[in-house]
Amino acid sequence: MFAYHAGILDNGDPSGRVIHDKLAAYAVLLNGSDEIDSSDPHRFIYHARSADVGRYRLTAATPKTREPVRVLRCHTLRSFWAPRAGIRYDGL
């Protein structure tokens, strides 16, 4: 609810994706098998879908687009670090 209110998520679709605009990526919503196993919730490998056009914004190499990216985990994420319900903001 807070992610929608703050404008981090733009619609009610909780599918995993990179949330971006024309300048940069500003959030990653992890869902399903998007997160590859990790022993630390702050370090993980994101498995981007080929249809996710925002994945290119994560690797933008200009100083203007190097902004912190928020990590959101959905309860349907297959990970030890997934929340029990809803979507949780896990930091930058």
From first to last of the 92 residues of the chain, give the pLDDT tens digit: 566 656 666 655 556 688 887 877 888 889 888 888 788 888 888 888 888 878 888 877 677 767 788 888 988 999 989 999 888 888 88
Judging by beta carbons within 10 Å of its beta carbon (0-12, 13-18, 19+), is residue 14 exposed, middle or buried? Answer: middle
How many distinct helices (H) and strands (E) make up the chain? Answer: 2, 6
For residue 6, what pLDDT is reported?
Answer: 63
The answer to pTM > 0.85 is: no
Judging by beta carbons within 10 Å of its beta carbon (0-12, 13-18, 19+), is residue 49 exposed, middle or buried? Answer: middle
